[in-house]
């Protein structure tokens, strides 16, 4: 991920750090317990060291150089950039860049971490921590930072209220209160549901809730978290209600939303392992029956990819691509995908096309957060709503890159006619070709493409069989 930015930064470049106040001991302890399992020790070291340089209003002339950070942490520039990107992804750091007469300058804004209840109330952070440390460690951390309230049974409260101690004229208080309008809780929930596009059938979901013992009020009070889980893991209405039933305390009729998230994660993890085992068994039984050659029409491959993108949730799709390429699924990739899903700026099928383009077509081992989020924001602004439209956007990007390389090659040839220019050509995906014709490939590329196509067909067959 950091490799793309290596050419844009040097150890001799300057930096300043903007920070209102130094992190407290509680915040540093929260970073160690809650954030380090997600982002790693290097990111914690970068955060702590940057905090030492922090000032509310730093002088841009009195800047430090990047090499001070590298020497202080005994790490290289690649590791530093990787740690910086993780801090940015987790909302702990904001980075700005500029150039002046003294050279390049990076401005780092240190942000305070979420600690305690605020951290566990964040759907993305708590889910990512659960996936990283596991259920047992997650429960212990939550008990440490969100201890249960002390019960005061058989006691009578005699605490004085504000007005008991500080008398205020009632007419003034009523006049001030009348000027403020508070929207009802249920109305805010309905607006939250209406403003987010989702394929969840709310009418069917309500009917299932009425037939279950899950209080409808409890469910819709936590609807934002339920929709995030639905979009992230691809759970349907019946699966969601089943998990909600397990997460409801039958004694208090209250929904334990954290336990619901944990159940959803465990269900998704179990399904992934089952699908992988079934896929391996199917591969042994089928042998070479599902082998696909390059002679197959490109439109058929496009249709299979589109169906694959529409069927799987982004997290399932990301895991499938990682399994196929044999690369590691990192915590930062989980977070960036979860973040885009939770914002609901793009449909799942469009997010899947973007993941496929970055990891499979471009051949990257991991996704760059800046490029992923920038492309997602651009597609959202352009009104991309379907997988076909997303593939059209990819073709535009590839075509623009090709034209720039041709323009550069022609310009170079005209200036140096005696020298034969060497133009590096990018191998494009089949469906991104302008003429829709499959390019010639080597035996190794043919085999790799055939394996990916076979994997797509197997997974689609399994999903249709389950339904």
The fold of 2-115 is: Arc Repressor Mutant, subunit A (1.10.10)
Neighbours of 206 (CB within 10 A): 13
- Given pLDDT bands bounded at 50, 70 and 90, which one contains residue 443? low
d(CA 264, CA 229): 7
Report pLDDT for 33: 92
Segment 69-80 mean pLDDT = 91
Task: Say how many CA atoms lie within 13 Å of 222 toward its Cβ.
Answer: 25
Report pLDDT for 436: 53
Residue 424 contacts residue 406 (beta carbons within 8 Å): no
Report pLDDT for 191: 38
**Is residue 295 predicted with pLDDT exceeding 80?**
no
**Is residue 293 predicted with pLDDT exceeding 50?**
no
- Given pLDDT bands bounded at 50, 70 and 90, which one contains residue 16? very high
> What would the pLDDT profile of 189-213 be if each residue is shown by its tens digit?
333 334 445 667 788 788 778 877 7
**Is residue 46 predicted with pLDDT exceeding 90?**
yes
The tokens describing 151, both together, are 């019960």
How far apart, in Å, are the Cα atoms of 147 and each of 129, 139, 272? 18, 11, 33
d(CA 355, CA 213): 39
Segment 341-346 mean pLDDT = 79
Average pLDDT score, the chain: 76
d(CA 391, CA 385): 11
**Is residue 15 predicted with pLDDT exceeding 90?**
yes
**Is residue 316 predicted with pLDDT exceeding 70?**
yes
> What would the pLDDT profile of 17-41 be if each residue is shown by its tens digit?
999 888 888 888 989 999 999 999 9
Q: What is the pTM of this model?
A: 0.46
d(CA 164, CA 62): 55
Beta bridge partner(s), residue 15:
64, 106
Sequence-distant (≥ 6) Cβ neighbours of residue 331 within 8 angstroms: 38, 39, 128, 131, 132
> What would the pLDDT profile of 217-229 be if each residue is shown by its tens digit?
888 888 888 887 7
Sequence-distant (≥ 6) Cβ neighbours of residue 366 within 8 angstroms: 1, 327, 328, 330, 333, 359
> What would the pLDDT profile of 353-400 be if each residue is shown by its tens digit?
888 888 877 777 888 888 888 888 888 888 888 888 888 888 887 777
Residues of the chain with CATH 1.10.10: 2-115
Report pLDDT for 402: 66
> What would the pLDDT profile of 135-175 be if each residue is shown by its tens digit?
889 889 988 888 877 777 778 878 877 667 876 655 554 55
């Amino acid at each position: 991920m950091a490799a793309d930015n290596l050419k844009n930064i040097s150890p001799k470049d300057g930096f300043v750090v903007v920070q209102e106040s130094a992190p407290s001991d509680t915040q540093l302890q929260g970073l160690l317990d809650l954030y380090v399992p997600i982002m790693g020790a290097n990111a914690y070291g970068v955060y702590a060291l940057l905090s030492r340089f922090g000032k509310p209003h730093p002088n841009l002339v009195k800047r430090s150089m990047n090499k001070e950070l590298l020497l202080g942490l005994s790490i290289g520039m690649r590791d530093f950039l990787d740690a910086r990107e993780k801090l940015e992804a987790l909302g702990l750091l904001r980075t700005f860049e500029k150039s002046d007469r003294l050279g390049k300058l990076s401005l780092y804004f240190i942000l305070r971490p979420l600690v305690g209840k605020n951290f566990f109330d964040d759907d993305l952070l708590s889910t990512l921590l659960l996936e990283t440390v596991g259920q047992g460690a997650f429960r212990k951390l939550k008990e440490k930072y969100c201890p249960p309230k002390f019960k005061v049974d058989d006691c009578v409260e005699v605490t004085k209220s504000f007005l008991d101690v500080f008398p205020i004229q009632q007419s003034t208080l009523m006049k001030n209160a009348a000027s403020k309008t508070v929207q009802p809780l249920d109305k805010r929930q309905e607006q939250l549901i209406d403003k987010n596009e989702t394929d969840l059938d709310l009418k069917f979901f309500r009917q299932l809730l009425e037939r279950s013992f899950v209080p409808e009020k409890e469910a819709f009070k936590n609807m934002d978290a339920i929709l995030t889980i639905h979009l992230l893991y691809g759970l349907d209405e019946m699966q969601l209600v089943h998990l909600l039933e397990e997460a409801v305390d039958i004694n208090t009729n209250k929904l334990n939303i954290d336990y619901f998230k944990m159940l959803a994660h465990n269900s998704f993890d179990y399904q992934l392992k089952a699908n992988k085992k079934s896929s391996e068994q199917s591969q042994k039984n089928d042998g070479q029956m599902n082998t696909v050659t390059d002679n197959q029409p490109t439109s058929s491959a496009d249709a299979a990819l589109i169906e694959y993108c529409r069927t799987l949730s982004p997290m399932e799709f990301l895991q499938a691509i990682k399994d196929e390429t044999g690369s590691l699924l990192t915590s930062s990739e989980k977070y960036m995908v979860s973040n885009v899903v939770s914002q609901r700026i793009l449909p799942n099928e469009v997010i899947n096309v973007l993941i496929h383009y970055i990891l499979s077509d471009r051949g990257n081992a991991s996704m760059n957060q800046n490029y992923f989020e920038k492309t997602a924001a651009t597609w959202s602004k352009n009104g991309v709503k379907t997988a076909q439209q997303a593939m059209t956007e990819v073709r535009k990007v590839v075509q623009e890159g090709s034209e720039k390389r041709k323009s550069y090659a022609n310009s170079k040839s005209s200036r140096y006619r005696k020298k034969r220019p060497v133009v590096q050509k990018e191998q494009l995906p089949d469906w991104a070709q302008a003429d829709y014709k499959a390019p010639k490939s080597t035996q190794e590329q043919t085999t790799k493409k055939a394996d990916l196509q076979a994997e797509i067909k197997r997974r689609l067959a399994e999903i249709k069989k389950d339904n």
